Structure 1
């Protein structure tokens, strides 16, 4: 090792700066950096940047311990001392963020108390059960390690690191196994344009129901704030200021207070306490962020459906142009204003190029998933059969395996794919409660939780990947001497690290064969783990296909109504131009043969700007509400009024009896032999018909009286028309 590591050091520093810049851009996408407190930004930034640096540090560690003998093919390497200290610093910072800082920080941000001291105490109480579970596991592990190796510093350090590694590996193996199947399948399904539109329409009813439910919850909590405001003068002074702050947070119109009050399920307690106000504040914050979350999800779904429908319709004219709409801004990127493609080249790109790339990416991801699954299963039995190890080690004929720059690139690619599959499952598996990532509107507690999961999963996945290489290589790495040696200090830890990754077959088989649907039918809680696209594949049988067809039709109607309402035609009287045609059918032929233009008309631009202002005010929790929220509330009010007008059994029975007597025919019909002429018969018929009409009783009685006067020689009035 006579070469100087100056070039590698410069590359390593530049790569770290690049990672930090990308992490800042990621945080800016999901969080408003100016309004987010620094005590949240810094831990979240570190919990993402440090695991990302591990993806860079693992290949450098492999090349530093098993580099080639030639300087040109050695790759990026650093001195052994630098690598070891880098591992120690990165691991213990990540460990502190994962198990101590981020859990308390999340509860601190979610707390409803006003004072920082009260928020800290509330965070400690909220994490009490979690910490007790961790303490109990630590005590059991300490007893085992002390009986196995005795009491020393390495035993205590091994206990802490082994427990953290074990829990992280369990979660990482499950999430990665699910993602190894879900990610290639998602890429494959994305290639079908008609199937993509059908899935979007099938998801629309569920998203719309969640949006409506979030609006209902927000109304209930805001109604409690209105009740508190009415009783503000009877509370303590500090509670009055607190209630004023809650009033500023809420935004319930006065004309809806009575409507919400009739459906309210909770009321303000007689005695207002600090704990009640804190609980109401927490619920109000969660409801506001849930509303923002599902509003953003609904807008994005509508925008994707519009773009997909435009792509599907362009197959007839072979010219594609995305028209501006109120929802188009939800899917536009920073380069959306640049017009680089013509309508024809845009058609080729979206109809032919993207599906081909999707199929290619799906095929590549499938091969990578199979290689990872194979390596996980055969690595404990025979490490030489590991496909990942064979691709990383490029010089097997030497006395020991060697890794050059090409092996480092391949190793980084494998580790990135494993992490992507695990993180992809975080958004697919629905067991995380109300947490979600929202563009520029992520709840602070959700941001801390997702960053915690990134920090928790990366270290176990990184060490699991290192073990894919031959033992003569990974046992000489600084990562193994720092972490692996302590994990395998006991036989139980060694067996768990070697053989537990074989359980990756459980989530792989569950995702491949749709076992989540079977769990749903048997146990009733399969919605937590069910793939949203299982019903489309027919895994649930005929009932699943029928329900999927019903959801698709309902979703198509919801999307069409939303688009018509956003375009100013809430009654749907405009001409439908194939906006949401059935997927799989023939695309609507475009009737316009003129030249396409990427410039939106003036009216559409104004509509887009107004929708942007409305969406921005809604996302920031301002005074104004989005138009669809008001339309949803109007529908809800109509339903309530209709239920109130229906009445009970006795009211319905009385109405039916009254209608029976009012519509019955009690008029006297004289026989023909009493009629003097044909005119009299016509008069009698007219009296019968007039008497049968309950809504024209006056005319009926007049006709009947005229008929009775004709019996005594009277004559009908001149010019009188009888019906």
Structure 2
């Protein structure tokens, strides 16, 4: 290894790169969290959880160039002395280890605890993480015993179980998430190249998102009514928590000036309030209310973003004949590049109608080729040396060969950084697409602290396994000289089990790739009756299964953009203490492109929902539009009183008929029994005549079947029957 030359230039570049990464991480934090109101312990820990993995993306190419320098100083890349590189790896690895396994999980539960006092929050967090850490400690004991038997008593046998287990657990998650992202990223770019196809997918996603938003609204209102009922109690154990109750009441959107009668609060909410109020109940109520507010903020944000995307896509499609594209004034939430208005309507038309689709298609094809190269390198890595030398990543990173030994120059460093960045992006984007517990999500300026800790922990958890998995794509005589291998890889290969796991497990990347490419997730969900929760990409793979939902989504979007929908309250939320931050407000969006004066989802003259004497009426009104309205109507049907004139058998027949009529045939069964198009006879009724009273199929259908005739009731047909009971 060449050691001539000075590393001053490389050290300056390393310092400037770290400064640039710090600025980028701060901008990311500012996008998802309000910096002024977010507590310092959240900002500092999340900052390091994002900054350290970003530094690893730079540290791996520097480590490669430092251990495999080129003989020519002109092509030599950024390199640092081995002592400096080793120190950087120790700091980065052990800080990430502590953040991932201890700090971030404890702080996540601490921020999600509903207690008021910091001591109670800490006790709740430690208790919640005790089972998790006990399981980790148990696996560590087993691995330690295995290392002692295989290697003997040594210093490495103490560190190897800890570092190898952390690496293996992270590699399992990284391979699955990266396999999903290697398919979804290029597929999304290629699909979005079609403007009409992008609009159709937005319309397909609209009904489900609208229903989720209404459910979040309803859940929040129920919790608010429960808090209102709790505030009405002025005696008993509720008096011990009066200050706490007042803080919860400040979190709600219920008006303080108007009285809250029992009918307005709701019988269901009143029943949920126990007779004896305890500290545990108050903590659970606080935690549930906080999560409901964040869920409402999340879905309203997603709905507004969906409306803007649909309006932009529709405007781009409509500008084809005129060749002039006008978006109007940008919304207050728009970023500064979106606020720049330097393009003319014609150049804007060329950019969005011709250049951007072509760019997405070309970039998607390039990333698809990169995904194939990564998958190919994963497959042949565990094979013979002659086959492993055909790795595309190895050939692109190691340019210079001297006496059969590869060297890494500045060009190889740039390409290596691009490969690692794409692998990390594929894994991290999959985190946002895969459904997780508790409804965690990243929301613009309103991300919950617990969600921020959770996402930051996975960013830190996946960085080290992906970085080490990347260097194993290279030649063994190159990556074994790196400081990274001496620090981590040597301990992974300390036992035969760890070495074989590192070689063979990446082959399982074919499972998430196949599941994502061929829509296996949707097929499994459809088979077990969970077709309603199929994701957007899975729905596109299923073809006809989502063919009817886009019309409903189109109508929902049109009603919202045209101001004819039921107005929705998206006003500001109360700002409590630091424990309930960062929810501040749900920003409004333009009603339509070119008319930013009216918020999305409201009519031009409506504004927000006015509070009435019956707050439950607002939730019922919110449920009348879209898919969620049918669910609210069915709830009302269950509470209707039965007619006293109907006897038991007639009522039973009515109930069974309603149950049979509302049962939806599974979509997979509809697909099997569906007739081909060439067998359709649309004009058969006209040929047969309209007086016979038969259906289109010439016989009784499921809709004509009435189970009440088994009990003597009338079937409603022409056959008659007085509706009495025949005994």
Give me the TM-score of the superposition, normalised by structure 2. 0.79
Aligned partner of 2:553 in structure 1 is 555
Kindly indicate whether the alpha-carbon contact (under 8 Å) linking 2:561 and 2:601 is maintained by their aligned counterparts in 1: no
* Local SS of the residue matching 1:235: helix
Matched, 1:304 2:309: yes
Matched, 1:135 2:137: yes
CA distance in 1, matches of 2:548, 2:121: 47
Aligned partner of 1:661 in structure 2 is none
CA distance in 1, matches of 2:567, 2:7: 68
Matched, 1:632 2:628: no
Residue 252 of structure 1, CA deviation: 2.8
Residue 553 of structure 1, CA deviation: 1.0
Kindly indicate whether the alpha-carbon contact (under 8 Å) linking 2:46 and 2:452 is maintained by their aligned counterparts in 1: yes
Residue 640 of structure 1, CA deviation: 8.7
Residue 101 of structure 1, CA deviation: 0.1
User: Unmatched 5+ residue regions in structure 1?
Assistant: 540-544, 571-598, 619-624, 657-723
Shift in alpha-carbon separation, 1:339–1:386, aligned structure 2, 3 A: same
Residue 205 of structure 1, CA deviation: 0.7
Kindly indicate whether the alpha-carbon contact (under 8 Å) linking 1:516 and 1:526 is maintained by their aligned counterparts in 2: no
Residue 603 of structure 1, CA deviation: 10
CA distance in 1, matches of 2:159, 2:638: 67
CA distance in 2, matches of 1:265, 1:495: 60
CA distance in 2, matches of 1:65, 1:232: 73
* Local SS of the residue matching 1:270: coil
Aligned partner of 2:250 in structure 1 is 248
Kindly indicate whether the alpha-carbon contact (under 8 Å) linking 1:188 and 1:359 is maintained by their aligned counterparts in 2: yes
Query: What do the CA deviations read for 1:160-207 (whole angstroms, capped 9, x no partner)?
Result: 100100000000000000111111100001101011001001001111
Aligned partner of 1:607 in structure 2 is 598
Q: 1:258 aligns with which of 242, 245, 263?
A: 263
| 1:6-405 map, 5 Å | 6-235=8-237, 238-253=240-255, 258-259=263-264, 261-264=266-269, 267-324=272-329, 328-329=331-332, 332-381=334-383, 382=385, 383-405=388-410
| 1:568-587 map, 5 Å | none
Kindly indicate whether the alpha-carbon contact (under 8 Å) linking 1:324 and 1:608 is maintained by their aligned counterparts in 2: no
Shift in alpha-carbon separation, 1:404–1:653, aligned structure 2, 3 A: same
Question: Is the helix fraction higher in 1 or 2?
Answer: 1
Q: Give me the CA root mean square deviation.
A: 3.2
* Local SS of the residue matching 1:269: coil
CA distance in 2, matches of 1:317, 1:120: 63
Residue 630 of structure 1, CA deviation: 9.2
Aligned partner of 2:540 in structure 1 is 536
Shift in alpha-carbon separation, 1:302–1:629, aligned structure 2, 3 A: farther
Query: What do the CA deviations read for 1:679-700 (whole angstroms, capped 9, x no partner)?
Result: xxxxxxxxxxxxxxxxxxxxxx
CA distance in 2, matches of 1:523, 1:568: 35
Identify the range of structure 1 (530-539 vs 127-136) with the bigger mean alpha-carbon deviation: 530-539
Kindly indicate whether the alpha-carbon contact (under 8 Å) linking 1:107 and 1:123 is maintained by their aligned counterparts in 2: yes
Aligned partner of 1:585 in structure 2 is none
Kindly indicate whether the alpha-carbon contact (under 8 Å) linking 1:63 and 1:408 is maintained by their aligned counterparts in 2: yes
| 1:369-448 map, 5 Å | 369-381=371-383, 382=385, 383-448=388-453
* Local SS of the residue matching 2:406: coil
CA distance in 2, matches of 1:69, 1:617: 70
Aligned partner of 1:461 in structure 2 is 466
CA distance in 1, matches of 2:279, 2:90: 44
Matched, 1:650 2:665: no
Task: Pick the structure with greater CA Rg.
Answer: 1
Query: What do the CA deviations read for 1:616-643 (whole angstroms, capped 9, x no partner)?
Result: 999xxxxxx9x99895167779959974
Residue 247 of structure 1, CA deviation: 1.0
Shift in alpha-carbon separation, 1:266–1:387, aligned structure 2, 3 A: farther
Aligned partner of 2:493 in structure 1 is 488
Aligned partner of 2:711 in structure 1 is none
Query: What do the CA deviations read for 1:41-65 (whole angstroms, capped 9, x no partner)?
Result: 0000000000000000000000000
Matched, 1:470 2:475: yes
CA distance in 2, matches of 1:107, 1:495: 36
Kindly indicate whether the alpha-carbon contact (under 8 Å) linking 2:562 and 2:591 is maintained by their aligned counterparts in 1: no
Shift in alpha-carbon separation, 1:429–1:527, aligned structure 2, 3 A: farther
Aligned partner of 1:576 in structure 2 is none
Kindly indicate whether the alpha-carbon contact (under 8 Å) linking 1:223 and 1:257 is maintained by their aligned counterparts in 2: no
Shift in alpha-carbon separation, 1:46–1:642, aligned structure 2, 3 A: closer
CA distance in 2, matches of 1:601, 1:247: 35
CA distance in 1, matches of 2:262, 2:47: 42
CA distance in 1, matches of 2:498, 2:461: 18
